[in-house]
């Protein structure tokens, strides 16, 4: 699981490296990890919402959503999130706290992974940019999101001078 890779790297960070920001507006490794954890937990909440939905949703994905799932991931570009508290991740976490939260994500995803096949694929929850996604798609989105941020993690590690 890709979470293993993130956890293995996290073990190498000092607190200073974890919270280091190279410039105004550039996230620290801590902020990146917090963002990934919050997004994955939110996506698993959407899986749960699909699992408990009572009605089929006939609407589908947006054009961007169709392209994302056809490609199997986000394009290799930086995506600037709109300003706002929900897009301003924490820079105060410790390595231990982030490890614990990643374990929570792993546990949550593992529990849903074995149940996805039983969830009606016509029960969907709206994603603001990608349209109506079913449980399987929300679950896949979590993996795509972790993969998308690998390049950013590598860049932030160089800025923070994290050794291999």
Domain coordinates in residue numbering, the chain: 2-159
User: What is the pLDDT averaged over residues 60-65?
Assistant: 97
- The CATH H-level superfamily of 2-159 is dinb family like domain (1.20.120.450)
| Predicted confidence (pLDDT) at residue 9 exceeds the cutoff of 70 | yes
Task: Look at residue 81 in the predicted model and tell me its pLDDT.
Answer: 75
| Predicted confidence (pLDDT) at residue 46 exceeds the cutoff of 70 | yes
Task: Determine phi and psi for 50, rounding to 5 degrees.
Answer: -65, -40
Task: Look at residue 75 in the predicted model and tell me its pLDDT.
Answer: 87
Task: Look at residue 79 in the predicted model and tell me its pLDDT.
Answer: 80
Task: Look at residue 78 in the predicted model and tell me its pLDDT.
Answer: 83
- Average the pLDDT over each of 17-21, 24-28, 90-94, 117-121 and give the range with the smallest value: 24-28
Task: Look at residue 1 in the predicted model and tell me its pLDDT.
Answer: 74
Task: Look at residue 51 in the predicted model and tell me its pLDDT.
Answer: 98
Q: How far is CA 24 from the centre of its chain?
A: 23
Task: Look at residue 85 in the predicted model and tell me its pLDDT.
Answer: 63
| pTM greater than 0.75 (yes/no) | yes
Go through 95-134 and write b for each residue having 16 or more CB atoms within 10 A of its CB, e for each that does not: beebbebbeebbebbeebeeebeebeeebbbebeebbbbb
């Amino acid at each position: 699981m890709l979470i293993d890779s993130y956890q293995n790297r996290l073990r190498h960070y000092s607190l200073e490296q974890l919270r280091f920001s190279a410039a105004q507006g550039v996230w620290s490794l801590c902020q990146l990890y917090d963002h990934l954890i919050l997004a994955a937990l939110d996506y698993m909440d959407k899986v749960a919402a699909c699992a408990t939905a009572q009605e089929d949703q006939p609407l589908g994905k947006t054009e961007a959503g169709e392209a994302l799932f056809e490609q199997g991931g986000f394009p290799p570009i930086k995506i600037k999130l709109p300003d706002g508290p929900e897009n301003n991740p924490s820079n105060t976490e410790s390595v231990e706290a982030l490890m614990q939260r990643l374990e929570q994500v792993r546990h949550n995803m593992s529990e849903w992974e074995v149940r996805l096949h039983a969830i009606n694929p016509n029960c969907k929850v709206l994603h603001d940019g990608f349209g109506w996604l079913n449980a399987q798609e929300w679950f896949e989105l979590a993996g795509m999101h972790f993969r998308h941020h690998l390049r950013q993690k590598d860049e932030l590690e160089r800025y923070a001078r994290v050794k291999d």
